[in-house]
Every structure is written in C-alpha cells, then in structure tokens.
C-alpha cells in the first residue's frame, strides 16, 4: 500500500458521468422531437421570433443614435430564450453583457433592459423584481456572483437555482475557473451556460482554448459537462431543465456548452469582415434557430403559414412599441449622479452636488 | 531612463496624423528595431485592436510578434512577467481601462516589485498600454480614469501623452525603458490630429519630463492626457477675462517633474490642477501637496483642483456633467484670490 492509495487519490464514486458526449445533443429533427410538448414548442417559437425582432430593432436603434451600442444576440436566440424558460420565477438568472434578450424573455421590461446600452443609467431594472442580475461588461465576473447567491440560498434552505451565462471567450478568464471550482466544492445549485458562438470579438475559439470542447472544462472540477446544439432550442431547453432539476435536488452544478454562432458583428461598432468570411456566416443561416424549430413544428403540423404570419405580426407590434418608447428622450436628472454612491452621501459629495446644482441653475437661466 | 529617440524615417516632412497612427508607428518601429519586443493582448492581431492601434502589425511582423491571446488579463500580464524574465520586452494591451483590473494582482504584486525584490537582478521591461478616460460615450466600465491606482504603486512608471508627437515619443521611450511602464492612452484623443513626422527626434519626449504647452503670467494650469486640450481651450477663453494662463502638460505622472512644475508656479504664483479622474485621493492631490511644499512662499492662493466628482463614472448621457470643462476651470481660476493680489 502506498501513500497514494491511502490518502491522496480518492476515486470518484459520483454516478453522474463527467465527460461530455462528443456530439452536441440535438432534439429537433430527431425521432424524439415527436414527443415534445406542443404548447412548449409554440411558446418557444413565439419567443424566438420576438427575440429576433428585438435584436433587429435594437440594432436599428443604434443607427438612429437611440442606443450607444448594442451587442446583438442574433443567431443565438435559442440559448437566450431557453435560459429564461428553464427557470422558475424563484430562480436567478445571471446574464452576460450580450444577454439582454434572456433578461427580456424572463420578464424584464424591454426598455429597462436597454438602459445600460442607451446610456441613461447602468442598470435600468430592479434585479430583484425578476431575479435577473445586472447586465454588465466585465467578462465572467457574474459567474462567482451566481455561485455565491446559489450558495446563500442553499444555506437558507431556499429552493433556488442560479443560471449563469457566459461566452466562449469568457471561459478563459480566471473568474470562470474559480466559479466552477467553488460551485463544485460547495455543490452549489448553479448551472453554467456557455454560449460558444465561435468568437470573442475577433478571436476565434481555436485561439481561446485547446480543449476538445469547452464542456470538457467541467471534468477538471469534478462536475458534469454537457454539449448541446445551441441553435436547437428544444435541446438547449431540455439540457438546461435537467441541469436545473439536478441542481435543485442537491446534485450540484453543471457546465453546459451550447454551440451557436454570432450572426451579427460583435456590436454595431465592429467590422466583422476584418476577421471572418461571409461564407461562414452564410453557412450558419442553414442552421438558424428559428428555421430549425419551424421545420420541426411544420413536420408535426404544429405550425402553418397563418401562425407564422400572426407571430410575425405580434413581433412587429412589439418592435413598434419598443421603437416608440425608445424614441422618447430619456428623462435624466443629473443630480442622480450623487444619489446612489452611498446610502448617505458623504459631506464631500454634498458639496459637489451643490456645485453641480448651482451650475445647472445657472445653465437654466442663461 | 530610455534614450530611444531615433526612428527609421519613412515619411519625409510633416503631415497630418492621428494619435492612433502615431502609436501604431511607435509600435512598428519598436518591433522593427528590437527583436525582443513582443506585442500581445486581446484582438490585437487580425483585428488590429478595437481601437486599431496595432493595425497591420501582425501581418507585417507575424503572429508571434503581435499575438491574439486568450481572453484573460491576469494571464496576459502574468505571462508578460515570465517573458520579461527570459529577456523579452513585452508590450501588452489592456482593451479598456476597466478591463485591466483582472491583471491588478500581477501588476501590484509582481510587475511593480520584481526589480526591488531581486535587488535589481531581475528588472521587468514591460509596457502596459491602457486606453483610459471618458468622453467617448462609453457604457459602464469603458471610461475609467484609473491613473491613481497606478501612480500609488511604487515600482511603476506612469506616462500619458496628450499630443500626437508625444504619443510616438513616449511610447518608444516606454518600450525602451528597463522599468515597467503604464502607458495610458487617452481614448478621446485617439483621433486628434496634428502635423507630425516620425523622424523629428526633438519631439521625442523623455519619460519624466513635463512641458509648458502655453506660457502665461497669471496662473498655471497643471494637467495631463485627455484634459490638456480642455485646459488649452480654457486658457484661450481666459484671455477675455484678463488672465494669461500658463499650461503645463505633465506627460509623465511617475516620475514626476517637480522642476518644471515648480518653476512655472513660482513664475505665476497661482495654480490649478485639472484632471478628469475623481478628485479624492487623486493625482491632483499629490500635485497640490508637492506644489505647496515647494512653492509656498510664491503662492498667492491655495492650489485648487478641478477634477471629476467622487462618483463611479457616469453613464454616457450624464458624463458631460462629470468631466472638467472650460467653465469649471475658469471658475477655479476666478477663485485664486485675485482681489488680494
Ligand atoms: C474582463 C474583460 N476583458 C475584456 C473585455 C472586452 N470585451 C468585451 S466583449 C469581449 C469578447 C467576449 O467574447 P465572449 O466571451 O465569447 O462573448 P461574446 O461576445 O461572444 O458573446 C471582450 C474581449 C471585457 N468586457 N471584460
Ligand atoms: Mg463568443
């Protein structure tokens, strides 16, 4: 008997297989799709079409100067919507900066969700209302937050799961690894959803990782990794729902990698032609998440031209309402700059606020 | 300190160039001159950087000299330390001010300390380029004026150009320096233009030397980086009020050029420090203290500061209320106890 046998090496007896399947899990277009709930598919379809329209509208608003910037999730709507649908109201969503749509799909007001990108404030919604953490840009930093929140809920005996989203690029950050490890050690009820859309701005996945898949990163932390077709909303939803259920039952965290593609440039300010071929983008149109779902639904006679038209009209109405609300000038009070820095402004902030107020009054008089 | 001043002349004569082009040229000349210079960072290769400062360099010098890294700032700076330990001269790009923070531990615990720790045996000639500051309508985390974190860390040089020529000269000097240099690039000046040619060595700024950008007799505005154009504008506007303002561009925050600053304040007897970073515990506080310590008997009024408010950087629609503008500068000048003069 060696020291190794005695102490250090404790083979895992966890029944959950850790290695992800080499092929992304798919449902739509497979025989199993026949058993999918028709109501759920209809909901998904409606949300996908609205989501696509939302992305298009938000991008248009950047051109009209109504948004400072918009990182579109066009092409990734299946992940955005499935993430929201996989959660119960009592759960928490921790979106990345690209996931405005997931927040909206979970119920955040579509205009309030854009506040950060419009530039009138940083977070425009109360995170507690829909249990959606603030969208913000420092990559992967939301992941340890999700673990901490889930851990706290578990300590309090609450039946709450946190689902945290991140991009492929974000998996290179230290925070990603620390979050996975904490979640694994604490067996926290967290689901990590990596949207592998092929790029971190201009940097392709091959320069980001040498792993067989991002889902493989789970293995080193002792948690299961799942690979899923990110443009198959039913598959993403099924994998996430299973992971959420496992987390809720005390089974610990899961890392889910969804393979998808960012159809638009990184943001409206980016020129994607500098680093990728149009042909690559075109090839992904074949596997568009809306088209994939539409084909599967038509096969089962769950969708016809009239429903498509109705859904699109519904999305148009949503877009028109969004446009109208976004075309109103944001109401801003510069004094808010001092209102929320601390519970009580410091004496120095009071002085500075008085100075700004005097300036504003002088400005109003001239 | 660096003596890198000679550039390979390409363009004869002077022609309009942006600060971004001057920075690009400085990187290119450094790569061409010194095979130990390596650029790496996020999106700096194929894309040429989100601000295009490294445009064309990967193509010209190859991926191993201008490298897209994985998305991890601590990793970028940590590996830069290792490369420097092995004799290379890494030049790393942090994509934005706030995205340099994951690298803070490497910076403070190793980059800044290695020379001292090893009694000079292991200097780290690393240049850390950080686009910084606001005024570009950036959403949260894209506009931080983070200089005070760096200036408060002994072992780091901290420089920031405000002109096209200095962008070139200071970057060349930073890369040639055997000490780590935080090279702060004022984002909102990236597209500022000046007539400039890369082969005018008299324009190369040595690290550690401030420069008087405008001479005047009434008071001295002490500033740097993104606030220089604002101060020059204020100085022009001040003429109408009967003030003849001197404007000092620090260029280098560490080392600090006490000599140039003190000489100016002794001449004018009054001083206002201007920067867009929050005032409390900011670089302006250090400058005001130094000027007071050195020029007390020449001062007609306390040294004043015009700085950003002590608040997290505002959202785009409110940033104009935060950034020091001409009016706030003139207000401060007006408070320099003229009636008692
Ligand atoms: C810590 C940090 N470093 C750098 C950036 C700048 N940045 C914003 S988005 C992005 C790429 C992110 O790629 P990925 O994680 O794949 O997400 P995607 O954009 O594809 O949704 C980068 C480098 C940032 N926001 N935060
Ligand atoms: Mg990505």
Span A315-349, pLDDT tens digits = 999 999 999 999 999 889 999 999 999 999 999 99
Torsion of CA B138, B141, B143, B146, to 10 degrees: -170
Mean pLDDT of A159-178: 98
Mean pLDDT of A269-276: 96
Report whether residue A169 contacts ligand 1, using a CB cutoff of 6 Å: yes
Q: Do B98 and A121 touch (CB under 8 A)?
A: no
pLDDT digits (tens, 9 = 90+) for B217-240: 999 999 999 999 999 999 999 999
pTM of the model: 0.95
Could you give the residue numbers annotated as active site of B? Answer: 142
What's the pLDDT score for residue A21? 87
Task: Judge whether residue B8 has pLDDT over 50.
Answer: no
Active-site residue (options: A275, A287, A298, A323): A275
CATH 3.20.20.210 fits A18-332, yes or no: no
- Which class is domain B211-334? alpha beta
Q: Is B72 exposed, middle or buried (0-12, 13-18, 19+ CB in 10 A)?
A: buried
Mean pLDDT of B325-331: 98
d(CA B64, CA B58): 8
* Cis amide prior to B58 (ω within 30 degrees): no
Among the bound ligands, the one closest to the CA of A267: 1
What's the pLDDT score for residue A92? 98
Q: Which of B68, B75, B312 sits opposite A207 (nearest CB)?
A: B68
Query: ipTM of the predicted structure?
Result: 0.94
Q: Which of A119, A170, A341 sits opposite B137 (nearest CB)?
A: A119
Give the distance, in angstroms, between the CA of residue A330 and the centroid of all CA atoms in the same chain: 26
Residue A25 annotated to the active site: no
Q: Do B321 and A337 touch (CB under 8 A)?
A: yes
B245 vs A2, higher pLDDT: B245
d(CA A229, CA A315): 25
pLDDT digits (tens, 9 = 90+) for A29-74: 999 999 999 999 999 999 999 999 999 999 999 999 999 999 999 9
Task: Judge whether residue A20 has pLDDT over 90.
Answer: no
CA–centroid distance, A330 to ligand 2, in Å, is 31
* CA terminus-to-terminus distance, chain A: 89
Left if phi > 0, otherwise alpha if psi is -120 to 50, otherwise beta: which for B208? left
Q: CATH 3.40.50.920 in chain B, residues?
A: 211-334
Report whether residue B101 contacts ligand 1, using a CB cutoff of 6 Å: no
Q: Give the pLDDT band (50/70/90) at residue B15.
A: confident
Give the distance, in angstroms, between the CA of residue A322 and the centroid of all CA atoms in the same chain: 20
Beta-strand relationship, B211-214 and B245-249: antiparallel
Report whether residue A165 contacts ligand 1, using a CB cutoff of 6 Å: no
pLDDT digits (tens, 9 = 90+) for B33-88: 999 999 999 999 999 999 999 999 999 999 999 999 999 999 999 999 999 999 99
What's the pLDDT score for residue B12? 55
Q: CATH 3.40.50.970 in chain B, residues?
A: 17-196
CB contact at 8 A, A191 and A243: yes
Mean pLDDT of B84-105: 98
What's the pLDDT score for residue B2? 38
Q: Which of B74, B99, B309 sits opposite A352 (nearest CB)?
A: B309
**B283 in helix, strand or coil?**
helix
Q: Which of A203, A352, A359 sits opposite B71 (nearest CB)?
A: A203
- When the candidates are 3.40.50.2000, 3.40.50.970, 3.30.870.10, 1.10.1840.10, the CATH number that belongs to B17-196 is 3.40.50.970
What the block records as the tokens of B24 is: 């690009």
Q: Which atom of ligand 1 is nearest to the CA of A96?
A: 21
Mean pLDDT of A284-288: 96
CA–centroid distance, A284 to ligand 1, in Å, is 22
Q: Chain A: residue nearest B97 by CA?
A: A138
Among the bound ligands, the one closest to the CA of A102: 1
Report whether residue A262 contacts ligand 1, using a CB cutoff of 6 Å: yes
What percent of chain A has pLDDT above 90?
A: 93
Interface residues of A toward B, Cβ cutoff 8 Å, are 68-69, 116-122, 136-139, 169-170, 172-175, 200-203, 207-209, 270, 274-275, 330, 332, 334, 336-338, 341, 346, 348-349, 352, 356, 359
Q: Do A201 and B43 touch (CB under 8 A)?
A: yes
Q: Give the pLDDT band (50/70/90) at residue A129.
A: very high
What's the pLDDT score for residue B10? 45
CA–centroid distance, A58 to ligand 2, in Å, is 19
A15 vs B253, higher pLDDT: B253
Task: Judge whether residue A1 has pLDDT over 70.
Answer: no
| Among candidate residues B56, B53, B3, B2, the one with its CA nearest the CA of residue B23 | B53
Active-site residue (options: A52, A106, A237, A262): A262
Q: Which atom of ligand 1 is nearest to the CA of A138?
A: 26
Report whether residue A200 contacts ligand 1, using a CB cutoff of 6 Å: yes
Angle at B284 between CA B279 and CA B288, to 5 degrees: 125
Residue A275 annotated to the active site: yes
Task: Judge whether residue A6 has pLDDT over 90.
Answer: no
B48 to chain A: which residues are within 8 Å by CB?
Answer: 274
B280 to chain A: which residues are within 8 Å by CB?
Answer: 348
**B211 in helix, strand or coil?**
strand
Q: For residue A312, give every residue at least 6 positions away whose Cβ sits within 8 Å of its Cβ, in sequence order, or none.
A: A49, A53
A332 to chain B: which residues are within 8 Å by CB?
Answer: 317-318
What the block records as the tokens of A201 is: 């701005």
CA–centroid distance, B130 to ligand 2, in Å, is 23
- Using a CB cutoff of 8 Å and minimum separation of 24, what contacts does B324-331 make? B324/B227, B324/B230, B324/B274, B324/B275, B324/B276, B325/B230, B326/B230, B326/B233, B326/B234, B326/B237, B327/A359, B328/A359, B329/B221, B329/B230, B329/B231, B329/B234, B329/B272, B329/B274, B330/B234, B330/B237, B330/B238, B330/B241
A20 vs B203, higher pLDDT: A20
Mean of per-residue pLDDT scores for chain B: 94
Mean pLDDT of A79-96: 98
Q: Which of A138, A173, A337 sits opposite B322 (nearest CB)?
A: A337
Q: Give the pLDDT band (50/70/90) at residue A12.
A: low
* Structure-token match 């690290």, residue found: B207
Q: Give the pLDDT band (50/70/90) at residue A8.
A: low
**Residue A256: its H or E element:** strand A254-259
Mean pLDDT of B142-162: 98
Q: Give the pLDDT band (50/70/90) at residue A196.
A: very high
The number of beta carbons lying within 10 Å of the beta carbon of residue B73 is: 28
d(CA A259, CA B95): 26
Rg of chain B on CA atoms, in Å: 20
Q: Do A348 and B310 touch (CB under 8 A)?
A: yes
A200 to chain B: which residues are within 8 Å by CB?
Answer: 42-43, 71
Mean pLDDT of A131-138: 98
Report whether residue A75 contacts ligand 1, using a CB cutoff of 6 Å: no
Q: Give the pLDDT band (50/70/90) at residue A303.
A: very high
d(CA B293, CA A309): 76
Report whether residue B47 contacts ligand 1, using a CB cutoff of 6 Å: no
Mean of per-residue pLDDT scores for chain A: 95
Report whether residue A217 contacts ligand 1, using a CB cutoff of 6 Å: no
Q: Give the pLDDT band (50/70/90) at residue B3.
A: very low
A172 to chain B: which residues are within 8 Å by CB?
Answer: 70-72, 75
What's the pLDDT score for residue A281? 97
Which DSSP state fits A171?
G
B50 to chain A: which residues are within 8 Å by CB?
Answer: 201, 270
């Amino acid at each position: 008997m060696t020291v190794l046998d005695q102490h250090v090496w404790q083979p895992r007896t966890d029944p959950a297989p850790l290695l992800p399947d080499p092929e992304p899990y798919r449902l739509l277009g497979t025989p199993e799709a026949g058993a999918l709930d028709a109501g759920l598919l209809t909901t998904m379809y409606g949300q996908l079409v609205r989501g696509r329209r939302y992305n298009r509208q938000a991008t248009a608003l950047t051109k009209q100067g109504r948004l400072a910037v918009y990182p579109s999730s066009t092409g990734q709507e299946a992940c955005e919507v499935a993430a929201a649908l996989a959660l119960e109201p009592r759960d928490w969503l921790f979106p990345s900066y690209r996931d405005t749509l997931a927040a909206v799909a979970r119920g955040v007001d579509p205009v309030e969700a854009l506040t950060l990108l419009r530039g009138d404030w940083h977070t425009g919604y109360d995170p507690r209302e829909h249990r959606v953490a603030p969208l913000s840009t420092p990559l992967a930093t939301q992941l340890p937050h999700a673990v901490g929140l889930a851990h706290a809920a578990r300590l309090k005996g609450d039946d709450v799961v946190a689902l945290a989203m991140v991009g492929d690029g974000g998996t290179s950050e230290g925070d990603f690894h620390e979050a996975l490890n904490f979640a694994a050690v604490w067996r926290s009820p967290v689901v990590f959803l990596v949207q592998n859309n092929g790029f971190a701005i201009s940097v392709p996945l091959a320069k980001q990782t040498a792993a067989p898949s991002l889902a493989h990163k789970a293995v080193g932390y002792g948690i299961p990794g799942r690979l899923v077709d990110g443009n198959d909303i039913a598959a993403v939803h099924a994998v996430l729902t299973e992971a959420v259920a496992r987390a809720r039952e005390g089974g610990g965290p899961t890392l889910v990698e969804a393979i998808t593609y960012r159809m638009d440039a990184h943001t409206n300010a980016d020129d994607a032609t500098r680093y990728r071929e149009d042909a690559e983008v075109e090839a992904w149109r074949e596997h568009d998440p809306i088209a994939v779902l539409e084909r599967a639904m038509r096969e089962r006679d769950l969708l016809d031209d009239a429903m498509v038209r109705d859904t699109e009209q519904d999305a148009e109405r949503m877009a028109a309402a969004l446009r109208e609300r976004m075309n109103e000038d944001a109401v801003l009070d510069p004094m808010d700059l001092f209102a929320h820095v601390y519970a009580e402004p410091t004496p120095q902030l009071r002085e500075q606020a008085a100075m700004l107020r005097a300036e504003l009054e002088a400005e109003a008089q001239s | 300190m660096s003596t890198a001043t000679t550039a390979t002349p390409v363009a004869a004569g002077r022609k309009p160039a942006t600060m971004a082009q001057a920075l690009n040229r400085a990187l290119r000349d450094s790569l061409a001159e010194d095979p130990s210079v390596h650029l790496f960072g996020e999106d700096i290769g194929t894309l040429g950087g989100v601000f295009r400062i490294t445009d064309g360099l990967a193509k010209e010098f190859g991926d191993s000299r201008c490298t897209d890294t994985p998305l991890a700032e601590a990793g970028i700076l940590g590996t830069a330390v290792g490369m420097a330990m092995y004799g290379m001269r890494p030049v790393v790009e942090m994509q934005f001010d706030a995205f340099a923070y994951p690298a803070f531990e490497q910076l403070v615990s190793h980059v800044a300390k290695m020379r001292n720790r090893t009694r000079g045996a292991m200097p780290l000639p690393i240049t850390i380029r950080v686009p910084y500051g606001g005024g570009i309508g950036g959403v949260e985390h894209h506009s931080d004026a983070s200089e005070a974190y760096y200036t408060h860390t002994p072992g780091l040089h901290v420089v920031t150009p405000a002109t096209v020529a200095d962008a070139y000269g200071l970057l060349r000097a930073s890369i040639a320096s055997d000490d780590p240099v935080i090279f702060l690039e004022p984002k909102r000046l990236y597209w500022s233009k000046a007539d400039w040619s890369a082969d005018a060595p008299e324009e190369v700024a040595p690290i550690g030397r401030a420069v008087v950008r405008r001479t005047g007799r009434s008071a001295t505005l002490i500033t740097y980086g993104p606030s220089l154009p604002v101060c020059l504008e204020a100085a022009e506007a001040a003429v109408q009020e009967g003030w003849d303002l001197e404007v000092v561009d620090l260029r280098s925050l560490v080392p600090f050029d006490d000599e140039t600053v003190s000489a100016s304040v002794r001449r004018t007897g009054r001083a206002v420090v201007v920067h867009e970073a929050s005032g409390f515990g900011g670089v302006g506080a250090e400058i005001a203290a130094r000027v007071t310590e050195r020029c007390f008997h020449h001062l007609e009024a306390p040294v004043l500061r015009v700085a950003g408010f002590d608040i997290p950087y505002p959202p785009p629609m409110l940033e104009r209320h935060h950034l020091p503008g001409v009016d706030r500068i003139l207000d401060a000048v007006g408070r320099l106890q003229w009636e008692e003069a």
